[in-house]
A and B are shown apart, each in its own frame.
Chain A
Amino acid sequence: MVGRAWKFGDNISTDEITPGRYMGLRSNMPELAKHTLEDARKEFPSSVKEGDFVVAGRNFGMGSSREHAPLVIKMCGVKAVLAQSFARIFYRNAINIGLPAIVCDTTKINEGDELELHLSDGSVEDLTGKTKIMFPPMSSTMNAILNEGGLIAYVEKHGDLVLV
Protein backbone atom coordinates (compact mmCIF):
# COMPACT_ATOMS: atom_id res chain seq x y z
CA MET A 1 0.00 0.00 0.00
CA VAL A 2 1.25 3.47 -0.86
CA GLY A 3 0.71 6.37 1.53
CA ARG A 4 1.94 9.91 2.01
CA ALA A 5 4.47 11.07 4.58
CA TRP A 6 3.49 13.44 7.38
CA LYS A 7 6.74 14.93 8.66
CA PHE A 8 7.34 15.80 12.30
CA GLY A 9 10.45 17.01 14.09
CA ASP A 10 12.44 15.68 17.03
CA ASN A 11 11.11 14.98 20.52
CA ILE A 12 7.39 14.75 19.75
CA SER A 13 5.93 14.00 23.19
CA THR A 14 2.90 11.91 24.11
CA ASP A 15 1.39 15.19 25.38
CA GLU A 16 1.41 16.36 21.75
CA ILE A 17 0.19 13.03 20.36
CA THR A 18 -2.76 12.77 22.73
CA PRO A 19 -2.92 15.68 25.19
CA GLY A 20 -3.77 15.13 28.84
CA ARG A 21 -6.60 17.63 28.59
CA TYR A 22 -8.52 15.02 26.56
CA MET A 23 -8.08 12.36 29.23
CA GLY A 24 -11.87 12.25 29.60
CA LEU A 25 -12.11 10.82 26.07
CA ARG A 26 -9.92 7.80 26.75
CA SER A 27 -12.95 5.52 27.00
CA ASN A 28 -14.23 6.98 23.72
CA MET A 29 -11.32 6.25 21.42
CA PRO A 30 -12.93 7.42 18.13
CA GLU A 31 -13.44 10.88 19.68
CA LEU A 32 -9.95 10.87 21.23
CA ALA A 33 -8.48 10.02 17.81
CA LYS A 34 -9.96 13.25 16.41
CA HIS A 35 -7.29 15.13 18.40
CA THR A 36 -4.30 13.00 17.37
CA LEU A 37 -1.14 15.10 17.10
CA GLU A 38 -3.20 18.30 16.87
CA ASP A 39 -0.81 20.18 19.15
CA ALA A 40 2.06 19.37 16.79
CA ARG A 41 0.15 19.85 13.50
CA LYS A 42 -3.38 21.13 13.78
CA GLU A 43 -4.54 19.77 10.39
CA PHE A 44 -3.25 16.23 10.97
CA PRO A 45 -6.35 14.53 12.45
CA SER A 46 -8.76 15.94 9.87
CA SER A 47 -6.53 15.44 6.82
CA VAL A 48 -4.66 12.18 7.46
CA LYS A 49 -5.71 9.34 5.13
CA GLU A 50 -5.82 5.58 5.56
CA GLY A 51 -2.39 4.17 4.73
CA ASP A 52 -0.42 7.37 5.45
CA PHE A 53 2.84 7.40 7.42
CA VAL A 54 4.00 9.44 10.39
CA VAL A 55 7.65 10.32 9.75
CA ALA A 56 9.65 11.87 12.58
CA GLY A 57 13.12 12.73 13.79
CA ARG A 58 14.66 11.63 17.07
CA ASN A 59 12.94 10.39 20.22
CA PHE A 60 9.38 10.13 18.91
CA GLY A 61 6.80 9.51 21.66
CA MET A 62 8.79 10.74 24.62
CA GLY A 63 7.05 11.08 27.95
CA SER A 64 4.01 9.28 29.22
CA SER A 65 3.29 5.54 29.15
CA ARG A 66 -0.21 6.16 27.74
CA GLU A 67 -0.84 3.41 25.22
CA HIS A 68 -3.57 5.66 23.83
CA ALA A 69 -0.77 7.48 21.96
CA PRO A 70 0.05 4.71 19.45
CA LEU A 71 -3.61 3.60 19.53
CA VAL A 72 -4.95 6.94 18.25
CA ILE A 73 -2.25 7.07 15.56
CA LYS A 74 -3.31 3.59 14.43
CA MET A 75 -6.99 4.54 14.55
CA CYS A 76 -6.27 7.44 12.18
CA GLY A 77 -5.32 4.81 9.60
CA VAL A 78 -1.58 5.38 9.86
CA LYS A 79 0.27 2.38 8.44
CA ALA A 80 3.53 2.84 10.37
CA VAL A 81 5.58 5.38 12.27
CA LEU A 82 9.09 5.91 10.93
CA ALA A 83 11.58 7.74 13.12
CA GLN A 84 15.30 8.09 13.68
CA SER A 85 14.67 6.89 17.24
CA PHE A 86 11.77 6.25 19.60
CA ALA A 87 11.18 6.75 23.28
CA ARG A 88 11.31 3.35 24.95
CA ILE A 89 7.74 3.05 26.23
CA PHE A 90 6.14 4.37 23.04
CA TYR A 91 8.12 1.87 20.96
CA ARG A 92 7.06 -1.07 23.09
CA ASN A 93 3.44 0.13 23.17
CA ALA A 94 3.30 0.56 19.39
CA ILE A 95 4.46 -3.00 18.75
CA ASN A 96 2.16 -4.31 21.49
CA ILE A 97 -0.90 -2.87 19.73
CA GLY A 98 0.28 -3.89 16.26
CA LEU A 99 1.49 -0.54 14.91
CA PRO A 100 4.86 -0.90 13.15
CA ALA A 101 7.45 1.49 14.65
CA ILE A 102 10.40 1.58 12.28
CA VAL A 103 13.80 2.95 13.23
CA CYS A 104 15.40 4.32 10.06
CA ASP A 105 17.08 7.34 8.51
CA THR A 106 14.16 9.69 7.88
CA THR A 107 16.21 12.72 6.88
CA LYS A 108 15.72 12.17 3.14
CA ILE A 109 11.95 11.80 3.34
CA ASN A 110 10.09 15.04 2.60
CA GLU A 111 6.64 16.16 3.63
CA GLY A 112 4.03 14.63 1.33
CA ASP A 113 6.36 12.08 -0.29
CA GLU A 114 4.68 8.86 -1.36
CA LEU A 115 6.09 5.93 0.58
CA GLU A 116 5.81 2.20 0.25
CA LEU A 117 6.75 0.04 3.23
CA HIS A 118 8.19 -3.44 2.77
CA LEU A 119 8.27 -4.82 6.32
CA SER A 120 9.51 -8.27 5.39
CA ASP A 121 12.61 -7.13 3.52
CA GLY A 122 13.31 -4.19 5.83
CA SER A 123 12.95 -1.28 3.46
CA VAL A 124 10.90 1.83 2.78
CA GLU A 125 10.70 3.10 -0.77
CA ASP A 126 10.30 6.83 -1.24
CA LEU A 127 8.50 6.85 -4.58
CA THR A 128 8.61 10.66 -4.81
CA GLY A 129 12.27 11.08 -3.86
CA LYS A 130 13.17 7.86 -5.69
CA THR A 131 15.23 6.50 -2.80
CA LYS A 132 15.15 3.26 -0.90
CA ILE A 133 15.82 3.36 2.84
CA MET A 134 16.86 0.15 4.53
CA PHE A 135 16.25 -0.55 8.22
CA PRO A 136 17.62 -3.24 10.54
CA PRO A 137 15.28 -6.04 11.62
CA MET A 138 13.43 -5.82 14.92
CA SER A 139 14.29 -8.27 17.72
CA SER A 140 12.82 -11.69 16.98
CA THR A 141 10.29 -11.53 19.83
CA MET A 142 9.06 -8.05 18.88
CA ASN A 143 8.80 -9.16 15.29
CA ALA A 144 6.71 -12.16 16.35
CA ILE A 145 4.46 -9.92 18.50
CA LEU A 146 3.93 -7.55 15.57
CA ASN A 147 3.22 -10.44 13.21
CA GLU A 148 0.47 -11.67 15.54
CA GLY A 149 -1.09 -8.21 15.48
CA GLY A 150 -0.09 -7.38 19.04
CA LEU A 151 0.91 -8.72 22.44
CA ILE A 152 -2.51 -9.99 23.56
CA ALA A 153 -2.88 -12.17 20.46
CA TYR A 154 0.74 -13.32 20.83
CA VAL A 155 0.28 -14.38 24.46
CA GLU A 156 -3.07 -15.99 23.71
CA LYS A 157 -1.49 -18.00 20.90
CA HIS A 158 1.36 -19.30 23.08
CA GLY A 159 -0.73 -19.58 26.26
CA ASP A 160 2.15 -17.82 28.00
CA LEU A 161 4.65 -14.98 27.64
CA VAL A 162 7.58 -16.56 25.85
CA LEU A 163 10.67 -15.33 24.05
CA VAL A 164 11.15 -16.55 20.50
Chain B
Amino acid sequence: MTGKTLAEKLIGSHTAKESVSAGEVVIVTVDYTFSHDAAGPLLIQQLNQLKNVPSGVNKNRTVFFIDHAVPSPTKELANDQAIVRNYALDNELILSDAGNGICHQILAEDYLSPGDMMLGTDSHSCTAGGLCAFGTGMGATDIAIAMKLRKTWLRVPESVKMNIQGRLSRGVSGKDLILKTLSILGTDGATYKSLEFDGPGIDELDVYGRLTLTNMAVEAGAKTGLVKSDSRTRQYLKEAGREERWKEIRADAGASYESEYEINASELEPQVALPGSPANVKPISEVKDIKVNEVFIGTCTNTRIEDLRIVAQVFKGKRKARDLKLIVTPPSKKVYLKCMEEGILENLLQAGAMITPPGCGVCYGAVGGIPADNEVIFSTSNRNFPGRTGNPKAQTYLGSPATAAASAITGYITDPRKLI
Protein backbone atom coordinates (compact mmCIF):
# COMPACT_ATOMS: atom_id res chain seq x y z
CA MET B 1 0.00 0.00 0.00
CA THR B 2 1.33 3.42 -0.91
CA GLY B 3 1.46 6.19 1.66
CA LYS B 4 -1.56 8.40 2.24
CA THR B 5 -1.98 12.16 2.26
CA LEU B 6 -3.83 13.85 5.12
CA ALA B 7 -6.93 14.17 2.92
CA GLU B 8 -6.88 10.47 2.04
CA LYS B 9 -6.48 9.54 5.72
CA LEU B 10 -9.24 11.81 7.00
CA ILE B 11 -11.73 10.89 4.27
CA GLY B 12 -10.79 7.21 4.38
CA SER B 13 -11.50 6.99 8.11
CA HIS B 14 -15.07 8.19 7.42
CA THR B 15 -15.91 5.56 4.82
CA ALA B 16 -16.72 1.87 5.08
CA LYS B 17 -13.54 1.17 3.13
CA GLU B 18 -10.14 0.31 4.55
CA SER B 19 -8.54 3.14 2.64
CA VAL B 20 -9.26 5.55 -0.20
CA SER B 21 -7.12 7.19 -2.86
CA ALA B 22 -7.33 10.46 -4.78
CA GLY B 23 -9.89 10.34 -7.56
CA GLU B 24 -12.35 7.94 -5.91
CA VAL B 25 -15.89 9.13 -5.30
CA VAL B 26 -17.12 7.95 -1.91
CA ILE B 27 -19.93 8.34 0.60
CA VAL B 28 -18.53 9.64 3.90
CA THR B 29 -20.07 9.91 7.34
CA VAL B 30 -20.13 13.42 8.76
CA ASP B 31 -19.34 14.30 12.39
CA TYR B 32 -20.41 17.97 12.49
CA THR B 33 -22.63 20.11 10.29
CA PHE B 34 -23.45 23.78 10.64
CA SER B 35 -25.23 26.66 9.03
CA HIS B 36 -25.67 30.36 9.79
CA ASP B 37 -27.90 33.37 9.25
CA ALA B 38 -26.63 33.94 5.69
CA ALA B 39 -27.60 30.47 4.40
CA GLY B 40 -29.77 29.03 7.18
CA PRO B 41 -33.21 30.12 5.91
CA LEU B 42 -32.58 28.45 2.53
CA LEU B 43 -31.16 25.36 4.22
CA ILE B 44 -34.23 25.09 6.47
CA GLN B 45 -36.48 25.35 3.39
CA GLN B 46 -34.57 22.46 1.83
CA LEU B 47 -34.70 20.40 5.05
CA ASN B 48 -38.47 20.84 5.09
CA GLN B 49 -38.70 19.43 1.57
CA LEU B 50 -37.03 16.17 2.60
CA LYS B 51 -39.89 13.85 3.46
CA ASN B 52 -38.93 10.47 2.05
CA VAL B 53 -35.73 9.96 4.08
CA PRO B 54 -35.26 8.92 7.69
CA SER B 55 -33.88 11.63 9.96
CA GLY B 56 -30.45 11.01 11.38
CA VAL B 57 -29.89 14.53 12.72
CA ASN B 58 -27.23 14.51 15.42
CA LYS B 59 -28.54 17.07 17.90
CA ASN B 60 -25.24 17.37 19.74
CA ARG B 61 -23.25 18.02 16.58
CA THR B 62 -25.51 20.24 14.50
CA VAL B 63 -24.86 23.93 15.05
CA PHE B 64 -26.67 27.06 13.89
CA PHE B 65 -24.76 30.31 14.14
CA ILE B 66 -26.06 33.86 13.99
CA ASP B 67 -22.85 35.64 13.09
CA HIS B 68 -22.95 37.16 9.62
CA ALA B 69 -24.91 40.33 10.25
CA VAL B 70 -24.95 41.11 13.97
CA PRO B 71 -26.65 42.90 15.49
CA SER B 72 -29.18 42.72 12.65
CA PRO B 73 -29.05 45.98 10.67
CA THR B 74 -32.43 45.57 8.92
CA LYS B 75 -35.81 43.97 9.57
CA GLU B 76 -35.24 41.54 6.71
CA LEU B 77 -32.03 40.21 8.27
CA ALA B 78 -33.68 40.18 11.71
CA ASN B 79 -36.43 38.02 10.21
CA ASP B 80 -33.89 35.64 8.67
CA GLN B 81 -32.13 35.39 12.01
CA ALA B 82 -35.42 34.67 13.76
CA ILE B 83 -36.04 31.78 11.33
CA VAL B 84 -32.63 30.31 12.16
CA ARG B 85 -32.91 30.90 15.92
CA ASN B 86 -36.40 29.41 16.16
CA TYR B 87 -35.51 26.40 14.04
CA ALA B 88 -32.51 25.55 16.21
CA LEU B 89 -34.47 25.99 19.44
CA ASP B 90 -37.58 24.12 18.24
CA ASN B 91 -35.48 21.17 17.07
CA GLU B 92 -33.15 21.19 20.10
CA LEU B 93 -30.06 21.80 17.97
CA ILE B 94 -27.08 23.84 19.13
CA LEU B 95 -27.62 27.60 18.76
CA SER B 96 -24.70 30.01 18.84
CA ASP B 97 -26.65 33.26 18.92
CA ALA B 98 -25.73 36.79 17.88
CA GLY B 99 -22.79 38.08 19.90
CA ASN B 100 -21.26 34.69 20.58
CA GLY B 101 -18.91 34.80 17.63
CA ILE B 102 -17.99 33.65 14.13
CA CYS B 103 -18.81 30.06 13.16
CA HIS B 104 -15.25 28.99 12.28
CA GLN B 105 -13.83 30.53 15.45
CA ILE B 106 -16.43 28.91 17.73
CA LEU B 107 -16.01 25.52 16.03
CA ALA B 108 -12.26 25.70 16.68
CA GLU B 109 -12.73 26.94 20.26
CA ASP B 110 -15.42 24.53 21.40
CA TYR B 111 -16.02 21.61 19.09
CA LEU B 112 -13.48 20.33 16.57
CA SER B 113 -10.71 17.82 17.14
CA PRO B 114 -8.18 16.12 14.87
CA GLY B 115 -9.74 13.56 12.55
CA ASP B 116 -13.26 15.05 12.55
CA MET B 117 -15.30 15.44 9.37
CA MET B 118 -17.09 18.79 9.37
CA LEU B 119 -19.29 20.39 6.71
CA GLY B 120 -20.85 23.83 6.74
CA THR B 121 -22.70 26.29 4.54
CA ASP B 122 -19.68 28.54 4.47
CA SER B 123 -16.74 28.45 2.13
CA HIS B 124 -14.27 29.07 4.96
CA SER B 125 -15.20 25.77 6.63
CA CYS B 126 -11.73 24.68 5.51
CA THR B 127 -10.44 26.62 8.56
CA ALA B 128 -11.03 23.37 10.51
CA GLY B 129 -7.94 21.91 8.85
CA GLY B 130 -5.72 23.96 11.17
CA LEU B 131 -6.73 21.37 13.78
CA CYS B 132 -6.35 18.53 11.28
CA ALA B 133 -10.12 18.16 10.97
CA PHE B 134 -11.46 17.77 7.43
CA GLY B 135 -13.64 20.82 6.86
CA THR B 136 -15.21 21.91 3.62
CA GLY B 137 -17.87 24.37 2.56
CA MET B 138 -20.93 23.48 0.53
CA GLY B 139 -24.25 25.08 -0.35
CA ALA B 140 -27.49 24.95 1.61
CA THR B 141 -28.85 21.90 -0.22
CA ASP B 142 -25.76 19.74 0.28
CA ILE B 143 -25.62 20.67 3.97
CA ALA B 144 -29.35 20.02 4.42
CA ILE B 145 -28.75 16.47 3.16
CA ALA B 146 -25.63 16.07 5.31
CA MET B 147 -27.49 17.32 8.39
CA LYS B 148 -30.41 14.99 7.89
CA LEU B 149 -28.55 11.87 6.73
CA ARG B 150 -25.22 12.42 8.54
CA LYS B 151 -23.40 11.76 5.29
CA THR B 152 -22.32 13.32 2.04
CA TRP B 153 -20.54 12.33 -1.13
CA LEU B 154 -17.01 13.48 -1.86
CA ARG B 155 -14.45 12.99 -4.54
CA VAL B 156 -11.19 12.22 -2.74
CA PRO B 157 -9.02 15.17 -3.76
CA GLU B 158 -5.50 15.15 -5.08
CA SER B 159 -3.22 17.03 -2.71
CA VAL B 160 -0.92 19.99 -3.23
CA LYS B 161 1.86 20.18 -0.67
CA MET B 162 3.42 23.39 0.60
CA ASN B 163 6.76 22.65 2.26
CA ILE B 164 7.51 25.46 4.67
CA GLN B 165 11.18 25.76 5.56
CA GLY B 166 12.70 28.03 8.17
CA ARG B 167 10.92 30.06 10.80
CA LEU B 168 8.84 33.23 10.40
CA SER B 169 10.70 36.29 11.61
CA ARG B 170 9.33 38.88 14.01
CA GLY B 171 6.45 40.88 12.50
CA VAL B 172 5.73 38.18 9.91
CA SER B 173 2.85 35.75 10.46
CA GLY B 174 0.72 32.92 9.12
CA LYS B 175 -1.24 35.49 7.11
CA ASP B 176 1.88 36.49 5.20
CA LEU B 177 2.62 32.83 4.57
CA ILE B 178 -0.82 32.11 3.11
CA LEU B 179 -0.75 35.27 0.99
CA LYS B 180 2.62 34.14 -0.36
CA THR B 181 1.08 30.71 -1.05
CA LEU B 182 -1.78 32.37 -2.96
CA SER B 183 0.67 34.39 -5.01
CA ILE B 184 2.21 31.08 -6.12
CA LEU B 185 -1.02 29.15 -6.73
CA GLY B 186 -3.41 31.88 -7.92
CA THR B 187 -7.15 31.80 -7.22
CA ASP B 188 -7.67 28.47 -8.96
CA GLY B 189 -4.31 26.76 -8.54
CA ALA B 190 -5.71 24.24 -6.06
CA THR B 191 -9.28 23.90 -7.36
CA TYR B 192 -10.91 20.65 -6.12
CA LYS B 193 -7.69 19.79 -4.27
CA SER B 194 -6.51 19.48 -0.71
CA LEU B 195 -3.89 22.09 0.16
CA GLU B 196 -1.56 20.55 2.75
CA PHE B 197 1.09 22.46 4.70
CA ASP B 198 4.06 20.73 6.25
CA GLY B 199 7.75 21.12 6.95
CA PRO B 200 9.92 22.61 9.71
CA GLY B 201 8.17 25.99 9.38
CA ILE B 202 4.85 24.34 10.27
CA ASP B 203 6.42 22.52 13.25
CA GLU B 204 7.19 26.00 14.57
CA LEU B 205 3.75 27.47 13.88
CA ASP B 206 1.11 27.50 16.64
CA VAL B 207 -2.47 26.49 15.92
CA TYR B 208 -3.69 30.09 15.65
CA GLY B 209 -1.34 30.63 12.71
CA ARG B 210 -2.29 27.30 11.17
CA LEU B 211 -5.98 28.25 11.29
CA THR B 212 -5.12 31.38 9.28
CA LEU B 213 -3.35 29.25 6.67
CA THR B 214 -6.18 26.76 6.25
CA ASN B 215 -8.87 29.48 6.39
CA MET B 216 -7.66 30.85 3.07
CA ALA B 217 -7.11 27.51 1.30
CA VAL B 218 -10.42 28.10 -0.49
CA GLU B 219 -8.95 31.30 -1.93
CA ALA B 220 -6.78 29.03 -4.09
CA GLY B 221 -9.91 27.04 -4.98
CA ALA B 222 -9.08 24.19 -2.60
CA LYS B 223 -11.66 21.82 -1.18
CA THR B 224 -9.85 21.94 2.11
CA GLY B 225 -6.59 23.03 3.74
CA LEU B 226 -4.88 20.69 6.17
CA VAL B 227 -2.09 20.69 8.72
CA LYS B 228 -0.90 17.64 10.68
CA SER B 229 -1.97 17.08 14.27
CA ASP B 230 1.11 17.27 16.52
CA SER B 231 2.22 18.48 19.96
CA ARG B 232 1.08 22.05 19.17
CA THR B 233 -2.39 20.74 18.32
CA ARG B 234 -2.36 18.85 21.59
CA GLN B 235 -1.43 22.01 23.50
CA TYR B 236 -4.29 23.91 21.83
CA LEU B 237 -6.80 21.21 22.75
CA LYS B 238 -5.46 21.11 26.29
CA GLU B 239 -6.06 24.84 26.66
CA ALA B 240 -9.51 24.37 25.11
CA GLY B 241 -10.31 21.69 27.71
CA ARG B 242 -10.49 18.66 25.41
CA GLU B 243 -6.99 17.20 25.38
CA GLU B 244 -8.51 13.71 25.58
CA ARG B 245 -9.71 14.12 22.01
CA TRP B 246 -6.20 14.73 20.67
CA LYS B 247 -4.58 12.16 18.43
CA GLU B 248 -1.52 12.39 16.27
CA ILE B 249 -2.20 12.46 12.52
CA ARG B 250 0.52 12.91 9.91
CA ALA B 251 0.74 12.28 6.19
CA ASP B 252 2.69 9.12 5.35
CA ALA B 253 6.23 9.54 4.09
CA GLY B 254 5.37 7.85 0.79
CA ALA B 255 2.21 9.89 0.15
CA SER B 256 1.72 11.05 -3.38
CA TYR B 257 1.18 14.75 -4.16
CA GLU B 258 0.01 16.27 -7.39
CA SER B 259 2.51 19.07 -6.90
CA GLU B 260 4.84 20.38 -4.22
CA TYR B 261 6.12 23.88 -3.54
CA GLU B 262 8.62 25.26 -1.08
CA ILE B 263 8.60 28.55 0.81
CA ASN B 264 11.42 29.69 3.06
CA ALA B 265 9.58 31.32 5.96
CA SER B 266 12.71 32.91 7.39
CA GLU B 267 13.18 34.99 4.22
CA LEU B 268 9.54 36.03 4.01
CA GLU B 269 8.61 39.68 4.47
CA PRO B 270 5.05 40.90 5.21
CA GLN B 271 2.78 40.39 2.19
CA VAL B 272 -0.13 42.47 0.91
CA ALA B 273 -2.95 41.45 -1.45
CA LEU B 274 -3.83 44.33 -3.76
CA PRO B 275 -7.50 45.09 -4.58
CA GLY B 276 -9.53 42.64 -6.65
CA SER B 277 -8.10 39.29 -5.66
CA PRO B 278 -6.49 37.66 -2.63
CA ALA B 279 -3.91 36.17 -4.99
CA ASN B 280 -2.87 39.57 -6.31
CA VAL B 281 -0.04 39.66 -3.78
CA LYS B 282 3.14 41.71 -3.42
CA PRO B 283 5.78 41.86 -0.71
CA ILE B 284 5.27 44.99 1.37
CA SER B 285 8.54 46.51 0.19
CA GLU B 286 6.90 46.89 -3.23
CA VAL B 287 3.70 48.49 -1.90
CA LYS B 288 4.50 52.17 -1.63
CA ASP B 289 2.51 55.29 -0.77
CA ILE B 290 -0.91 53.69 -0.45
CA LYS B 291 -3.06 55.93 1.69
CA VAL B 292 -5.60 54.07 3.82
CA ASN B 293 -8.99 55.43 4.94
CA GLU B 294 -10.16 52.48 7.01
CA VAL B 295 -8.43 49.64 8.83
CA PHE B 296 -10.49 46.57 9.72
CA ILE B 297 -9.03 44.04 12.15
CA GLY B 298 -11.39 41.10 12.40
CA THR B 299 -12.81 37.93 10.77
CA CYS B 300 -12.37 34.18 10.91
CA THR B 301 -8.99 34.59 9.23
CA ASN B 302 -7.17 36.66 11.72
CA THR B 303 -8.41 37.78 15.12
CA ARG B 304 -7.50 35.05 17.49
CA ILE B 305 -6.16 36.28 20.84
CA GLU B 306 -2.57 35.82 19.68
CA ASP B 307 -3.30 38.09 16.69
CA LEU B 308 -4.82 40.76 18.92
CA ARG B 309 -1.85 40.61 21.30
CA ILE B 310 0.39 41.44 18.35
CA VAL B 311 -1.93 44.31 17.36
CA ALA B 312 -1.75 45.68 20.90
CA GLN B 313 2.05 45.42 20.81
CA VAL B 314 2.20 47.45 17.62
CA PHE B 315 -0.08 50.17 19.03
CA LYS B 316 1.62 50.28 22.47
CA GLY B 317 0.22 53.74 23.29
CA LYS B 318 0.32 55.03 19.72
CA ARG B 319 -2.83 56.40 18.13
CA LYS B 320 -4.35 55.76 14.76
CA ALA B 321 -3.92 58.39 12.05
CA ARG B 322 -6.41 61.20 12.56
CA ASP B 323 -8.37 60.87 9.30
CA LEU B 324 -8.62 57.08 9.42
CA LYS B 325 -11.41 54.81 10.69
CA LEU B 326 -10.18 51.89 12.77
CA ILE B 327 -12.60 49.02 13.38
CA VAL B 328 -11.74 46.00 15.51
CA THR B 329 -14.15 43.07 15.73
CA PRO B 330 -13.28 40.29 18.17
CA PRO B 331 -14.15 36.92 16.65
CA SER B 332 -15.87 35.52 19.73
CA LYS B 333 -17.10 36.35 23.19
CA LYS B 334 -14.22 34.31 24.63
CA VAL B 335 -11.59 36.33 22.78
CA TYR B 336 -13.44 39.55 23.68
CA LEU B 337 -13.27 38.62 27.38
CA LYS B 338 -9.60 37.73 27.10
CA CYS B 339 -8.92 41.10 25.48
CA MET B 340 -10.65 42.71 28.44
CA GLU B 341 -8.60 40.75 30.99
CA GLU B 342 -5.33 41.48 29.24
CA GLY B 343 -5.93 45.19 28.79
CA ILE B 344 -6.05 44.89 25.00
CA LEU B 345 -9.46 46.59 24.80
CA GLU B 346 -8.12 49.64 26.62
CA ASN B 347 -5.09 49.68 24.33
CA LEU B 348 -7.32 49.56 21.24
CA LEU B 349 -9.77 52.20 22.51
CA GLN B 350 -6.90 54.54 23.40
CA ALA B 351 -5.56 53.99 19.90
CA GLY B 352 -8.87 55.27 18.56
CA ALA B 353 -10.54 52.01 17.57
CA MET B 354 -14.26 51.34 17.31
CA ILE B 355 -14.90 47.90 18.75
CA THR B 356 -17.87 46.09 17.25
CA PRO B 357 -19.61 42.93 18.52
CA PRO B 358 -18.24 39.47 17.71
CA GLY B 359 -19.28 38.41 14.21
CA CYS B 360 -18.24 38.70 10.58
CA GLY B 361 -18.25 42.50 10.75
CA VAL B 362 -17.01 44.60 7.85
CA CYS B 363 -15.74 41.57 5.89
CA TYR B 364 -18.46 41.28 3.30
CA GLY B 365 -20.48 44.44 3.36
CA ALA B 366 -23.76 43.47 4.99
CA VAL B 367 -23.36 45.37 8.28
CA GLY B 368 -21.41 48.41 9.49
CA GLY B 369 -18.11 49.82 8.33
CA ILE B 370 -19.00 50.11 4.64
CA PRO B 371 -16.46 52.41 2.97
CA ALA B 372 -17.24 55.61 1.07
CA ASP B 373 -16.65 55.90 -2.70
CA ASN B 374 -12.97 55.73 -3.63
CA GLU B 375 -11.91 54.88 -0.09
CA VAL B 376 -9.22 52.34 0.64
CA ILE B 377 -9.68 49.66 3.31
CA PHE B 378 -6.83 47.65 4.73
CA SER B 379 -8.38 44.46 6.10
CA THR B 380 -7.19 41.34 7.90
CA SER B 381 -9.95 39.35 6.19
CA ASN B 382 -9.65 36.78 3.42
CA ARG B 383 -11.37 38.36 0.41
CA ASN B 384 -11.09 41.59 -1.53
CA PHE B 385 -13.17 40.80 -4.59
CA PRO B 386 -14.80 43.82 -6.26
CA GLY B 387 -17.66 45.07 -4.08
CA ARG B 388 -16.84 42.71 -1.23
CA THR B 389 -16.99 45.29 1.55
CA GLY B 390 -20.30 46.75 0.41
CA ASN B 391 -19.20 49.48 -2.00
CA PRO B 392 -17.97 48.52 -5.48
CA LYS B 393 -16.31 51.94 -5.70
CA ALA B 394 -14.02 51.23 -2.74
CA GLN B 395 -10.81 49.19 -2.76
CA THR B 396 -9.68 46.55 -0.30
CA TYR B 397 -6.11 45.52 0.51
CA LEU B 398 -5.46 42.42 2.63
CA GLY B 399 -2.69 41.71 5.09
CA SER B 400 -1.76 40.61 8.59
CA PRO B 401 -2.98 42.06 11.89
CA ALA B 402 0.50 43.52 12.50
CA THR B 403 0.52 45.25 9.11
CA ALA B 404 -3.04 46.48 9.71
CA ALA B 405 -2.07 48.03 13.06
CA ALA B 406 1.07 49.64 11.63
CA SER B 407 -0.93 51.04 8.71
CA ALA B 408 -3.58 52.42 11.07
CA ILE B 409 -0.90 54.37 12.92
CA THR B 410 0.72 55.96 9.88
CA GLY B 411 -2.35 56.16 7.61
CA TYR B 412 -0.38 54.44 4.84
CA ILE B 413 0.27 50.74 4.20
CA THR B 414 3.27 50.24 6.46
CA ASP B 415 5.73 47.47 7.22
CA PRO B 416 5.05 46.52 10.87
CA ARG B 417 8.69 45.59 11.41
CA LYS B 418 9.41 49.32 11.52
CA LEU B 419 7.16 49.76 14.57
CA ILE B 420 7.87 46.72 16.76
Contact = CB atoms under 8 A, between A and B. Distances in A.
B46 A152 contact: yes
Interface string B354-384: 0000000000111000100000000000010
B385 A67 contact: no
Contacts of B223: 88
A119 interface: no
A89 B39 contact: no
Contacts of B191: 59, 85, 87-88
Interface string A52-69: 000000110011111110
Interface stretch (B146-154, B166-174, B301-309, B318-326): B146-154
B102 to A, nearest CB: 15
Interface string A139-163: 1010000000011100111011111
Chain B interface size, as a band, is 35 or more
A26 B38 contact: yes
A89 B139 contact: yes
B2 interface: no
Contacts of A58: 188
Interface stretch (B49-57, B196-204, B289-297): B49-57
B80 A151 contact: no
Interface stretch (B176-184, B339-347, B386-394, B402-410): B386-394
B213 interface: no
A157 B49 CA distance: 12
A143 to B, nearest CB: 12
A137 interface: no
Interface in A63-111: 63-68, 85, 87-89, 92-93, 96-97
B50 A152 contact: yes
Contacts of B388: 13, 15, 20
A39 B386 CA distance: 8
Contact of B38 (A59, A66, A89, A139): A66
A161 B152 contact: yes
Interface of B: 25-27, 38-39, 41-42, 46, 49-53, 68-69, 73-74, 76-77, 79-80, 83, 120-123, 125, 137-142, 144-145, 149, 151-153, 155, 187-188, 191-192, 218, 221, 223, 277, 364-366, 370, 383, 385-388, 390-392
8 contacts: A15-B385, A27-B83, A63-B385, A65-B122, A65-B138, A139-B155, A141-B153, A152-B46
Given A63-B123, A67-B141, A155-B149, 20 more contacts: A21-B365, A23-B366, A24-B76, A26-B38, A28-B76, A39-B387, A59-B221, A65-B39, A66-B38, A67-B42, A85-B188, A87-B221, A92-B138, A97-B141, A152-B46, A156-B52, A159-B52, A159-B53, A160-B53, A161-B149
